[in-house]
Amino acid sequence: MFADNTIYIVGNAKSQQNNPITHHYGQFFIGFVVERETGRIVACGSSATVPTTAEFIGSLFAGKSMQDEFELMRQHVEARYFGSSQKAILVAYKDAQKKFFRIMNGMPLDLND
């Protein structure tokens, strides 16, 4: 389904205690399919409990790049997403972005993280 030049990275975040995601999954995560050479996000899925939310989060990131400045992505998410997981989305993206840069620099990842 995905090209050989793609990698899969999961970004994790804690969500608010009263968030249904926390009750269902224990934490919030976003899985990103990324083109290794360009950093372009091909697809992503999240631990959102409502399918429309997961689709919308995917649309926020599809076509963007893991190499984009975090501040630009923060502004993009804050301008469009007004759910209780807004902060968790940003933390999960930042975590995935950190992992992407480690992979690109040949540094090992702690896969238990």
- The rounded distance, in Å, linking the Cα atoms of 33 and 59 is 13
| 61-80 residue pLDDT tens | 999 999 989 999 999 999 99
Per the structure, the complete domain to which residue 87 belongs is given by 6-104
Q: Which of 41, 45, 16 is nearest to 29 (CA)?
A: 45
The enclosing domain of 92 has a CATH number of: 3.30.390
* 96 vs 50 pLDDT, higher one: 96
- Which residues lie closer than 8 Å to 58 by C-beta, 6 or more apart? 43, 44, 45, 46
Reported confidence tier of residue 27, pLDDT bands at 50, 70, 90? confident
Instruction: Judge whether 50 lies within some domain.
Output: yes
Instruction: Judge whether 29 lies within some domain.
Output: yes
| 45-65 residue pLDDT tens | 998 878 999 999 999 999 999
pLDDT of residue 25: 47
What are the contacts of 77-83 at 24+ separation with CB within 8 A? 81/56, 81/57, 83/53
Q: What is the pTM of this model?
A: 0.85
- The rounded distance, in Å, linking the Cα atoms of 62 and 7 is 14
pLDDT of residue 24: 46
Instruction: Judge whether 113 lies within some domain.
Output: no
Q: 10 Å Cβ neighbour count for 56?
A: 15
Instruction: Judge whether 112 lies within some domain.
Output: no
Domains in the chain, number:
1
Instruction: Judge whether 33 lies within some domain.
Output: yes
